Amino acid sequence: MQAVVIAVVTSLASIIRSRLALQIEILALRHQLAVYQRTGHRPQLQPVDRLLWAWLSRRWAAWREAIVIVQPRTVISWQRQRFRDYWTRLSRQGTRGRPAVAPEIRELIRTMSTANPSWGSPRIMAELRKLGIAVAKSTVEKYRVRRSTPPSPTWRTFLATHAKDLVSVDFFTVATVRFEILFVLIILAHDRRRIQHFNITAHPSAAWTAQQVVQAFPWETAPRYLLRDRDGVYGADFRQRVASMGIKEVLTAARSPWQSPHVERVIGSIRRECLDHVVVLHERHLRRLLSPKTSVELGTAQSERWYET
């Protein structure tokens, strides 16, 4: 008896299943016909049409044989896209990740990393905390400026560090009323832009110039570097005396006064403020004009300024 009941139920289920499959097939064919009638020769599917075929692909096993307007792989790609869209909407609900970093803080991180190339992310993060700005290390790593070469200080820092070890030496000429040529030696210290020593002669030589350097830096106060041009007055005696003092000479290129700008600027100031409006009589007169004490007595404050600039 039980076997008979099972057989009857199975046969009824097969009849119902076959009628359901037939109805679904009819629905699929009519839908495709409606799409053709609606859009013409080239079918254009709407989101509702895609949703219907995505549902049929999950409920009806023979859907591949019935579909004509699109390829089966297209329907499968629709279903996958729906799956991705579904989980994208779920993941975007609520608060997403950490709050955005303000543009001012990003620019501050870039500025600090550029101005201080030796600072790492922990140092920048600590400096920001001193300003009351709390950021994570990963944030600093993201926005700080990275370099492909090892960190290097700025030119301003480099020159300020080496200025105390650098002096410049140069000559300029002055014509007297008798058409004699006097040579003025200027030794300029770069750290304070102060004239360390000056002297005047009508017959410059290497030995005389070397003696002026000794007078300018007595008692082991010699600088490390001396910047000069390639004038022939800096002969063997000068080079030997400078080397014995532990000074390393730095030579500028030929016909390139711009490579020694500080002493050239001082010489220009001396000419404009002291000599352009005076006729020099002789060496003693020129020495008196270039003396800062005499400049104060004459009331020429600008002349004293070049001496200590």
Query: Does the pTM of the predicted model rise above 0.85?
Result: no
pLDDT value for 187: 95
pLDDT digits (tens, 9 = 90+) for 136-167: 888 899 888 877 666 666 767 777 787 888 99
114: confidence class by pLDDT, cuts 50, 70, 90: confident
Write phi, then psi, for 177 (nearest 5 degrees).
-65, -25
**How far from 175 is each of 6, 257, 271, 306, CA to CA, in Å?**
134, 21, 12, 21
Most confidently modeled of 52-66, 147-161, 165-179, 280-294? 165-179
Burial class, 229, CB count within 10 angstroms (exposed 0-12 / middle 13-18 / buried 19+): buried
Mean pLDDT of the chain: 79
Region 77-101 average pLDDT: 75
Residue 251 contacts residue 169 (beta carbons within 8 Å): no
Residue 189, pLDDT above cutoff 90? yes
Write phi, then psi, for 10 (nearest 5 degrees).
-65, -40
Region 262-275 average pLDDT: 92
180: confidence class by pLDDT, cuts 50, 70, 90: very high
pLDDT value for 298: 38
Burial class, 287, CB count within 10 angstroms (exposed 0-12 / middle 13-18 / buried 19+): middle
The share of the chain scoring above pLDDT 90, in percent, equals: 38
